[in-house]
Amino acid sequence: MSQTILLLPGDGIGPEIVEETRKIMEWTVRQGLADLQFETGLIGGAAYDATGTPLPAETLTRAKTAAAVLLGAVGGPKWEPLDYSVRPERGLLGIRKELDLFCNLRPAMVYDQLADASTLKREVVSGIDIMVVRELTSDIYFGTPRGVETLPDGRKKGLNSMTYTTDEIERVARSAFEIARKRRGKVCSVDKANVLECTELWRQVVTALHQKEFSDLALSHMYVDNAAMQLIRNPRQFDVIVTGNIFGDILSDEASMLTGSIGMLPSASLGTRYALYEPIHGSAPDIAGQGVANPLATILSAAMMYRYSLNLPAVADRIEQAIVRVLDQGFRTPDIMQPGMKLVGTSAMGDAVLAALEG
């Protein structure tokens, strides 16, 4: 039976990069590699302009009946004067929360062809292939009590609460172990168990789950401050990193910057029933509408969809290999341009991936 993919192009460069990704996905259908049909929905500023809300109920309903969602990006200066409650970014936070997407996967891979784009030395970053698994629906961003109160003496006090329950820790840890099993079998759990009780519980739950269900894998623990250093000092030591929401927020940005090319980095956000795939970059208003955005992060996000939602890992491999071939052939959008390479725009880059798939 045909599966429905909901495309949410969003704002800025979103429509341009989603269109190129759709070309690739339609190719997999024509080849008989997947049985998919596509729907397009509204989110972000585009949804606000059309309906007065950044996350229309119809988008949410369609997301819940789709096999997976592919999102471009949301936001832009046009909507910055709006109240926070209707800003484009609320649409994104809203859909993640409504779909209960608790597990955020951010791979950080350095393509050999682009290793010089990193601000770190080639010998440090070359060959890195890290998967950061970040818990996405709990921790200090959601814990209560929270807020700012005025003390009797007039001073103000800000408060946020870091909270995790055993089930919240266990489900994301389980995802990380399952992913590690399909990779190099190594999980590093990052916490601050020396000073934060909440993360002491994190360490206990991860350790117990490892002993019970995943003792064939290698588990290590690292304090978050050390992890931040080790990511720069020797990033190749990592395979899968699993961590909570706030540590993951910071470490996944740090890991992605090892690669030096924001236009190349995909992500997946998974729940028990739903999944959403998107590039890690934003809507890039500075280059929107010019046909120069790099579509590869979004195409790689679609590859993750074939792997994690559609259970078609061989198709994911093929798309990823086609991208390596395109880079070998010297095709470059402006953000990854290097001397002597072939400068192409968004659509020509999509066509190059298509040609590499066909070739």
DSSP single-letter state for residue 113 = G
Q: How far is CA 57 from CA 53, 178, 182, in A?
A: 9, 33, 36
User: What is the C-alpha separation between 69 and 275, in angstroms, rounded?
Assistant: 6
Is position 43 an interface residue for ligand NAD (rule: CB under 6 A)? no
> Which CB, 210 or 281, lies closer to ligand NAD?
281
> Which CB, 235 or 263, lies closer to ligand NAD?
263
Q: How far is CA 32 from CA 25, 27, 28, 316, 321, in A?
A: 11, 9, 6, 14, 19
Residues forming the active site: 141, 192, 225, 249, 253
Owner of token pair 């117990």? 208
For the bound state, the minimum distance from the C-beta of residue 198 to ligand NAD, rounded and expressed in Å, comes to 27
For the bound state, the minimum distance from the C-beta of residue 134 to ligand NAD, rounded and expressed in Å, comes to 14
18, 24, 70, 74: which one binds ligand NAD (CB under 6 A): 74
What's the chain's Rg over C-alpha atoms? 21
Q: What is the DSSP string of 137-160?
A: S-GGGT-SS-EEEE-TTS-EEEE-
Chain residues 144-203 in contact with ligand NAD, contact rule CB under 6 A: none
> Which CB, 278 or 320, lies closer to ligand NAD?
278
Owner of token pair 């910057």? 257
Is position 268 an interface residue for ligand NAD (rule: CB under 6 A)? no
Is position 284 an interface residue for ligand NAD (rule: CB under 6 A)? yes
Chain residues 47-66 in contact with ligand NAD, contact rule CB under 6 A: none
User: What is the C-alpha separation between 285 and 60, in angstroms, rounded?
Assistant: 25
Span from 122-130, 185-193, 281-289, 303-311 in contact with ligand NAD (CB under 6 A)? 281-289
HSE-CB at 12 with a 13 A cutoff on CA atoms is 24
Is position 249 an interface residue for ligand NAD (rule: CB under 6 A)? no
Chain residues 306-335 in contact with ligand NAD, contact rule CB under 6 A: 335
Is position 283 an interface residue for ligand NAD (rule: CB under 6 A)? yes
Structure tokens at 97: 């929360």
Site string for ligand NAD, 197-216 (x = CB under 6 A): --------------------
Provide the 3-class DSSP secondary structure of residue 2.
coil
Give me the residues that bind ligand NAD (CB under 6 A), please: 13, 17, 73-76, 89, 92, 262-263, 278, 281-287, 293-294, 297, 335
